[in-house]
Chain A
Amino acid sequence: MIVGTTKSIKELIGITDRYKKILAVGCGTCITVCYAGGEKEVAVAMAALRIARKLKGGELATRESTIKRQCEWEFVEELDSMVGEVDAILSFGCAAGIQSLADRYEKTPVLPGVNTQFIGMVQKQGRWEERCIGCGDCITHLTGGLCAVTRCPKGQLNESCGGETEDGKCEVNDSLECVWFTIAKRLQETGELEDAGTYVESKNWEASHSGGLRMIEKESMLQ
């Protein structure tokens, strides 16, 4: 899932300052699950913005709508009838959602309500951890299904840096497991420890964002 965090109310007050009618759009998928921009977070943020505006002697009219996914046209279309009535759209989706709204509604300013953070997972209630940097060239078949490219702060490709503690904590951040320590443990358990010795050459970062904007086309699905 995409993990994000709601922008601070102070920042949202600044971003929305010049607009009088705002459509706040929540996203019902990833950003709802990480409590950053679902129906509830949108309602709280917009109530706070209305109160803040009133205390400054102004008025802010808001309309709220949380759609299933902001990153798919078929759901974005649901907003068509509402957009004409407002000065701006405040998107509580991830950056993909924000940009799909900006692409569709060219004449209306689209503002971000969320800071998109990473591709990750719910590690436990209230805690999300990054699991993928989208390098475009997955090698986790060699590393026990765990991504060292993402989870090692030094991006060690072949083995640990040697700085881990005896109980397998990372020397850069001791709240993290050394992923190479965990990889070795896992490979031992699955009887594939010899894979840990497979030398991974320097990664080709052209498949990552370093190669510029990425696009995927699946011929069989194109119309």
Chain B
Amino acid sequence: MTAIIPVGMGEMKTADKTGCLAVYGVGSCVIVSLYDSSRKLGGIVHIMLPDSSGLDPKAINPVKFADLAVGKLAKELTSQGARSEDLCAKMIGGAEMFPPTEDFENNIGRDNTEAVKKALKKLNIPLIAENTGGRRGRSVEFDVTTGIMRLSILGEEVREI
């Protein structure tokens, strides 16, 4: 049986061949997976915020921020033997859980999603699947043997992306 490795907020985890990386209860956060299918090597970053600019780079955890996390994961995977031109990305999350009222609206989810797309473009990594936005929480299991993400949303069938 494959061990399931949970990836918490602001964390980066990688696995090869038989690993399964899992994240439960994702709201406005964005989960990005990068995968090198020929080497069966993949990883996940659990991103919380879009942009680290203006913050002291030494004082922050880069994995929390979309603008830094994606590059950091790509670098980690290539250091483990992945080829950067073989990496493909998938992402889920970026919901706005609480419907806006006249006193507040919350765009963190959307901003996170857009910032990830920008970062992927900059790194030239294709985004081959996504399930983002809306008002529902998501859980995901990323099977590094196959590169498939199993996505669960409350009240819906589990689907593979």
Does chain A bind chain B? no
Residues of B within 8 A of A (CB): none
Residues of A within 8 A of B (CB): none
